[in-house]
């Protein structure tokens, strides 16, 4: 049984895109999300000192990126991974959110346009993310980044990538060093099977739509347990997360980043001595 919605929300939900997986294609989903972002173009974005298109090193070459700054000089840096079910989303669809992060946290925000499925299925997005974090740390001096104050942040599918970055860094003996992670409604239980979730019907993105995205991201023969063993899917084994939240991280302005987006899941990662 579904919980009754606010009457205004109940009228809005049927008008939103991405509700019909039977007729969606990867390109139509991308177009719909871009159109939704464009529909908000009249709303003034949060002010930042600068927003510049750039590039960051991915696993298979350089990726498009966008750098948001609200301060000058060396600063803490947020590496942001956008949501979109691993299939859609880009620098423009999440531009306003990145501006909010930069404006509210005082950190530099670097948004990464990682490769998307189904053209580039798992583990392309993960490999791109980890290559980008390592590249940012290696280039910290040149880019005026504090190497002890690098955060990974993402929403939905991007939250999955952010969480996995910390697991991979932990497995690699804290290289690269990630001081802080923050996830907005992260996707942390991936499977090609159709699952029944709480609020999985009648509330915007339903079970069938979520499964449509996962099936494009995960190879057909992928074993979710094997994905967890490869540290690609966080959230199922609590032992994997031991040691990811220790005291002593350097000045990451963690509280300010968390306040930028209320309701997010955040935590400090392990720190160097």
Residue 273 falls within a domain, yes or no?
no
140: in domain:
yes
Tell me how crowded residue 30 is: count the other CB atoms within 10 A of its CB: 17
* Token pair recorded at residue 67: 């750098």
DSSP 23: G
**pLDDT at residue number 263:** 47
Residue 248: DSSP 8-state: T
pTM above 0.95, yes or no: no
- Number of separate domains in the chain: 1
Residue 255 lies in a domain: yes
**Is residue 200 assigned to a domain?**
yes
Sheet bearing 61-69, strands edge to edge: 50-58, 61-69, 108-112, 75-81, 145-155, 180-184, 265-268
Q: Do the domain assignments include residue 225?
A: yes
The parent domain of residue 261 ranges over: 7-268
Q: Is 30 inside a domain boundary?
A: yes
Q: Considering the domain boundaries, does residue 32 fall inside one?
A: yes
Q: At 237, which CATH number?
A: 3.40.50.1820
Q: Mind listing the pLDDT tens digit for each residue in 85-138?
A: 999 999 999 999 999 999 988 899 999 999 999 999 988 999 999 999 999 999
Has residue 1 been placed in a domain? no
In sequence order, the 6+-apart residues with CB closer than 8 A to the CB of 58 are 112, 114, 115, 127, 128, 131, 132
Across 151-171, average pLDDT: 92
């Amino acid at each position: 049984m579904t919980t009754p919605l606010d009457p205004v929300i109940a009228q809005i939900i049927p008008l939103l895109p991405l509700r019909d997986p039977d007729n969606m294609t990867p390109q139509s989903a991308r177009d719909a999300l871009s159109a939704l972002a464009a529909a908000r173009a009249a709303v003034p974005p949060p002010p930042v000192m600068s927003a510049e298109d750039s590039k960051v090193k991915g696993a298979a070459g350089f990726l498009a990126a966008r750098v948001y700054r609200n301060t000058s000089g060396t600063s803490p840096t947020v590496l942001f991974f956008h949501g979109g079910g691993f299939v859609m989303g880009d620098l423009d669809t999440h531009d306003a959110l990145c501006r909010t992060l930069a404006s509210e946290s005082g950190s530099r925000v670097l948004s990464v346009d990682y490769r998307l499925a189904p053209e580039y299925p798992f583990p392309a997005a993960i490999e791109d993310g980890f290559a980008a974090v390592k590249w940012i740390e290696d280039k910290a001096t040149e880019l005026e980044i504090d190497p002890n104050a690098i955060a990974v942040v993402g929403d939905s599918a991007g939250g999955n990538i952010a969480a996995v970055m910390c697991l991979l860094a932990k497995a690699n003996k804290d290289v690269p060093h990630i001081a802080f992670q923050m996830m907005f409604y992260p996707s942390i239980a991936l499977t090609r099977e159709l699952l029944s979730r709480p609020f999985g019907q009648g509330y915007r993105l339903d079970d069938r739509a979520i499964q449509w995205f996962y099936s494009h991201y995960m190879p057909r023969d992928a074993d979710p347990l094997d994905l967890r063993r490869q540290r690609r899917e966080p959230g199922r084994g609590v032992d994997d997360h031991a040691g990811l939240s220790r005291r002593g991280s350097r000045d990451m302005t963690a509280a300010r980043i968390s306040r930028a987006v209320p309701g997010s899941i955040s935590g400090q990662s392990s720190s160097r001595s």
